[in-house]
């Protein structure tokens, strides 16, 4: 019975994130446009974009290898599986027992590895620039992410997100300095990983300043659709991760009444919308930083993660 309900929750959640991801990006874009006194496209525009791209033919460079063609599917699959591991509205996901927070980091890392390879595959200079910048950012973001994971795991006693969420939702945790540091570190990593301002600009047309966009400049048609969809999912994943670890209020714990699922889905949607609004606000109020400032930015995230972990070692009460 538990297995069946876990399967259902897992399936429901995998579908939910898939359906919600483009909407989240659409909402963020809409809010940004309104903040700039523009009308902006409909919040459903990302769905239309995906459909349009899926219907278009793929234009491939003559020297594109098999790697270039499989990468969109590999990255999309890896990100989707990673997203399936993050409890959104309910804990007790079926997959939780086989993969934890570290597995999420690994999955996203492999997705990026393939994308960086594909960026260099065709041999254009922009692809090379994009890949080198992306790997530079990743090399700094991943350690910061791992330290954040350690910090949370030390407090919650597990790296499994279902367990972490259950623990965080309980009354055992009060305000903790180390948790606050871990949260700020995770938000900084999330901005970098999702190619948002101030690290990258998702809306730029300037080839020379791009990071993520430069890498995928050669993609078109359904390949581009899969990569874009992957990027939408990744944004949702990170926001869900922040919500589930630091704000898991109203999340349904295994074995609760069916009605509580409705409440927790509502709460989740509300938290997503709030996060989207804050993201848009932050992006509007700040300029993009120089490429070589990114290490300092992510270095701060790393230090925060490290401090959080150390504080936790020094004293139980932090």
Partner 1 sequence: MPALIDLMQAGRRVERHYPWPRAIVDGEVWRSAASACANGGMSLLGLWGEPSRVHMAILDDRTSDIGVISLDCPDRRYPSVAAYHRPALRLERTIHDLFGLEAVGTPDSRRWLDHGRWQTRFPLGERLNASPDASPYPFLPAEGDGLHQVAVGPVHAGIIEPGHFRFTASGETVVRLEERLGYTHKGVEALMAASTIEQAARLAGRVCGDSTVAYALAFSQAVEAALQITAPRRALWLRALMAELERLANHLGDIGAICNDASFALMHAHCGVLRERVLRAAEAAFGHRLMRDVVVPGGLARDIASDGPATIRAALGEIRRHFPALVDLYDNTASLQDRTVGSGSLNPALARQFAAGGYVGRASGRNHDARRAPGYHPYDVLRFDIPVLNEGDVNARVWIRIREVEQSLSLVDQIIAGLEAGPISVPLQNGSAPSEGMAIVEGFRGDILAWLRLSGDRIERCHLRDPSWFQWPLLEAAIEGNIVADFPLCNKSFNCSYSGQDL
Per CB under 8 A, residues contacting partner 1 are 32, 35-38, 125-126, 128-129, 197-198, 201, 203-209, 284-293
Maximum separation of any 2 CA atoms in the chain, in Å: 61
Secondary structure, 3-state, 229-294: HHHHHHHHHHHHHHHHHHCCCCCECCCCCHHHHHHHHHHHHHHHHHHHHHHHHHHHCCCCCCHHHH
Q: Where do the H-state alpha helices sit in the chain?
A: 2-35, 45-55, 66-84, 101-121, 125-156, 161-169, 177-193, 212-215, 221-246, 258-284, 294-314
Whose Cβ is closer to partner 1: residue 37's or residue 259's? 37
Chain centroid offset of residue 134 CA: 15
In angstroms, give the least distance from the CB of 142 to partner 1.
21
Give the integer Cα–Cα distance in Å for 219 and 54: 12
Give the integer Cα–Cα distance in Å for 133 and 140: 11
Whose Cβ is closer to partner 1: residue 182's or residue 224's? 224
Give the integer Cα–Cα distance in Å for 39 and 122: 38
Whose Cβ is closer to partner 1: residue 46's or residue 130's? 130
Whose Cβ is closer to partner 1: residue 66's or residue 292's? 292
Whose Cβ is closer to partner 1: residue 38's or residue 48's? 38
Whose Cβ is closer to partner 1: residue 193's or residue 283's? 283
In angstroms, give the least distance from the CB of 217 to partner 1.
9
In angstroms, give the least distance from the CB of 210 to partner 1.
9
In angstroms, give the least distance from the CB of 289 to partner 1.
6
In angstroms, give the least distance from the CB of 213 to partner 1.
9
In angstroms, give the least distance from the CB of 245 to partner 1.
27
């Amino acid at each position: 019975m538990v297995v069946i309900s876990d399967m259902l929750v897992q399936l429901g959640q995998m579908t939910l994130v898939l359906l919600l991801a483009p909407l989240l990006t659409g909402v963020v874009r809409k809010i940004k446009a309104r903040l700039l006194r523009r009308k902006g496209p409909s919040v459903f525009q990302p769905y239309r974009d995906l459909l349009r791209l899926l219907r278009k033919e793929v234009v491939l460079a003559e020297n594109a290898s098999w790697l270039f063609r499989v990468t969109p599917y590999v990255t999309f699959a890896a990100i989707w599986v990673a997203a399936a591991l993050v409890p959104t509205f309910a804990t007790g996901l079926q997959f939780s027992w086989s993969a934890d927070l570290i597995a999420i980091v690994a999955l996203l890392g492999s997705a990026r590895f393939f994308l960086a390879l594909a960026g260099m595959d065709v041999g254009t200079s922009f692809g090379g620039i994009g890949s080198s910048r992306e790997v530079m950012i990743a090399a700094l973001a991943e350690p910061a992410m791992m330290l954040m994971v350690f910090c949370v795991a030390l407090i919650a006693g597990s790296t499994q997100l279902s367990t972490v969420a259950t623990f965080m939702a309980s009354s055992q945790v009060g305000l903790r300095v180390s948790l606050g540091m871990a949260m700020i570190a995770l938000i900084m990593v999330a901005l970098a990983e999702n190619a948002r301002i101030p690290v990258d600009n998702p809306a730029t047309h300037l080839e020379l300043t791009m990071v993520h966009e430069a890498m995928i400049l050669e993609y078109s048609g359904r390949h581009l659709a899969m990569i874009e969809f992957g990027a939408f999912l990744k944004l949702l994943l990170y926001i869900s991760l922040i919500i589930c670890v630091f704000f898991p209020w109203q999340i349904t714990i295994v074995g609760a009444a069916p009605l509580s699922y409705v409440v927790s889905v509502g709460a989740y949607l509300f938290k997503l919308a709030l996060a989207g609004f804050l993201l848009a606000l932050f992006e509007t109020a700040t300029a993009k930083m120089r490429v070589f400032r990114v290490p300092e930015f992510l270095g701060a995230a790393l230090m925060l993660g490290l401090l959080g972990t150390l504080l936790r070692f020094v004293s139980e009460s932090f």
